[in-house]
Amino acid sequence: MKQSTLFKVASGSIMKNKMRTLLTMLGIVIGVGAVIVMVAVGNGAQTMIQNQIQGLGTNLLIVMPGSGTPGGVNQGAGSFNRLTVEDAENIKREATLLSAVSPVITTRTQVIGGTGNWRTSINGVSLDYPTIRNWTTRSGTYFSDADLKSGRKVAVLGATVVNNLFPDGDPIGGQIQIGHVPFTIIGVMAAKGQNAGGQDQDDVILIPYTTMQNRLSGNMRLGQILASSDSPDDIPAAQEEIAGIMRDSHKLQGAPDDFTVRNQTEIAEAATSTTKVMSGLLAAIASISLLVGGIGIMNIMLVSVTERTREIGIRMAIGARGSDVLTQFLVESVVMSLLGGFVGLGVGYGGAALLGHLTGWATSTPLSAVAIAVGFSAAVGVFFGYYPARKAAGLNPIQALRYE
């Protein structure tokens, strides 16, 4: 039997009972639609987290305090801080794979200025900080090397701080009071938004780290050291290079590291691992609907074989082979599954767009998920349609003609 004839006969049989066909396809439609929505939400969440991680900085490497074991009791990560400005200077001077290095000293305090006051984070950083964070100024300028060396009381504000202290005016040239120390505002950073942990990156004030140590914190220890490698491919080697420089700087020799070096990839993997597991689990649960739809197709095809027993007998009596009957019923099953799959794609895309609109979640459907969903729906049609088709092909023509 010609392929065009097969599809014509299959389409005629499917359209003969429209309501039954629609109800049969419903399981496939729901299954494919649910899979597309779940994959779109999961993939969108992963993409958003990756973008937020990229927003942390360019080829970012972070040196953090390590753990201490006084009395043999490990106090946990960050409990033993030996990071100093000298460490940052050694890394910047000796490293060959880094493009920028900045010490970071952080405190949180009340800031007075403009129309009121606002509690925010104060970061003492170096000139390389904007390069590492891939962050530009929206207006004004960043502080200079002269500001850093002389410890001048100049500040660059994040967008959130500006919105709360200077909602109606330009803060450049204005004054703020950090703690009890007055600072002159010389710049405003471009808005960055939230990071992967939900923290507002714009709720910060940047000042020279020398000013931070001498005027505000009085702390000679660093909260962390940020660095940026020349390229993403250099990150693992740069991480090892930093570790070696730090070990030499702290004269550790055979002692365990008193610092931790993390890279952007590790941060991204930690942030996306839970999302991947949950999206995979939800997609697997949604896939069960496809199996239910396949069982529905097999049930209806078995009913169809019973209803069309005399028709099958006539076809075989006038020369149709068993393979022709088998192919005919398989085509009917696959056509129903594919129709359900394509309708399910539309439902899935519409559902993902509606969910994103109502909740504000990012949604993104990869083409691979579309191909897998449609291919799986066709496979369901073949798998669950084979037994009814085989049963139809195995009928005895004489007994089929006598069937009432």
Residue with more model confidence, 301 or 1: 301
Mean pLDDT to the nearest integer, 205-215: 93
Contact 189, 205 (CB under 8 A): no
Mean pLDDT to the nearest integer, 301-325: 72
* Helix (H), strand (E), coil (C) string for 205-260: EEEEHHHHHHHHCCCCCCCEEEEEECCHHHHHHHHHHHHHHHHHHCCCCCCCCCEE
| Residue 293, number of CB atoms within 10 A of its CB | 28
Mean pLDDT of the chain: 80
Contact 332, 13 (CB under 8 A): yes
pLDDT of residue 17: 73
Give which of 246, 269, 270 is closest to 258, Cα–Cα: 246
Expressed in percent and rounded to 5, the helix, strand and coil fractions of the chain are: 60, 20, 25
Mean pLDDT to the nearest integer, 301-305: 75
* CA dihedral of residues 7, 12, 14, 19 (deg, nearest 10): 150
Distance between CA atoms of residues 188 and 158, nearest Å: 6
Residue % of the chain over a pLDDT of 90 = 30
Q: Residue 57 in 3-state DSSP? A: coil
The first and second tokens of residue 147, run together, are: 């500001």
Residue % of the chain over a pLDDT of 70 = 79
Q: Could you tell me the CA-to-CA distances from 91 to 61, 138, 182, 227 in Å, in that order?
A: 12, 30, 32, 9
Mean pLDDT to the nearest integer, 340-351: 86
* Helix (H), strand (E), coil (C) string for 59-87: CEEEEEEECCCHHHCCCCCCCECCCCHHH
- pLDDT(126) > 90: yes
Mean pLDDT to the nearest integer, 122-148: 93
Residue with more model confidence, 66 or 261: 261
Distance between CA atoms of residues 159 and 186, nearest Å: 14
* Burial of residue 307, with CB atoms counted within 10 A of its CB: 0-12 exposed, 13-18 middle, 19 or more buried: exposed
pLDDT of residue 117: 92
Q: Residue 189 in 3-state DSSP? A: strand
Mean pLDDT to the nearest integer, 169-192: 92
Mean pLDDT to the nearest integer, 328-353: 83
Residue with more model confidence, 141 or 28: 141
Mean pLDDT to the nearest integer, 13-41: 78
pLDDT of residue 401: 59
Distance between CA atoms of residues 60 and 232, nearest Å: 9
* Burial of residue 126, with CB atoms counted within 10 A of its CB: 0-12 exposed, 13-18 middle, 19 or more buried: buried
Confidence band for 197, pLDDT divided at 50, 70 and 90: low
- pLDDT(137) > 90: yes
- pLDDT(91) > 80: yes
pLDDT of residue 57: 57
Q: Where are the domains of the chain?
A: 3-52+270-402, 81-257
- pLDDT(392) > 80: no
